[in-house]
Amino acid sequence: MKRREFIGTLTALAVSPHISTTDPLVYSFTKGRPVQPGRIKLEIPPLAENGHSVAMTVRVDSPMTPSDHVRAVHLIAENNPVRDMAVFYLGAHCPRAEVSSRIRLNGSQRVVAIAELSDGSFWSDAAYVEVREAACTDGG
């Protein structure tokens, strides 16, 4: 491997504290490009009483103009049996890069949000959610 490529790979690995860019799920849409922390904010309560429904909002600091906007936001749950949760496609016509939903969490874990901007850059945020177990499993 050439020295430049080697340093490039090191840089890519170095700038993503939230999730590894070689993680196959992440690689599937970043194709190895670096994912930097910042620009996107993942709002999720640190403590969720019930993993069945946890409120979540992602917000990206972006002017949302034709030349500078958010293309998509990817949501990943590190410990869910199915890790990819959603991809929200926005685009230049969208006036505000903010999406809310309710997610399911299979126990306490980290949730990662990755924004893809129109210039091809990727930005991430992560949050750890502690999920309480139900005491009375009523199976009904």
CB-based burial, 84-93: b 16+ in 10 Å, e otherwise:
ebeebebeee
The one among 6, 27, 89, 128 contacting another protein by CB under 8 A: 89
Shortest separation between residue 98's beta carbon and another protein, angstroms: 6
Helix (H, G, I), strand (E, B), or coil: what is residue 124? Answer: strand
- Asked if 122 is part of the footprint of another protein (rule: CB under 8 A), the reply reads no
Q: Kindly report the CA angle at 135 between 129 and 140, in degrees rounded to 5?
A: 110
The one among 12, 103, 126, 129 contacting another protein by CB under 8 A: 103
- Asked if 55 is part of the footprint of another protein (rule: CB under 8 A), the reply reads yes
Among 128, 77, 86, 68, CA closest to 106: 77
Applying CB under 8 A, the span of 12-20, 32-40, 91-99, 117-125 interacting with another protein comes to 91-99
Among 81, 37, 75, 43, CA closest to 59: 43
Which of positions 31-50 make contact with another protein (CB under 8 A)? 45, 48-50
Query: Which residues here bind another protein, judged by CB under 8 A?
Result: 45, 48-50, 52-55, 57, 75, 77, 80-91, 93-96, 98-105, 132-140
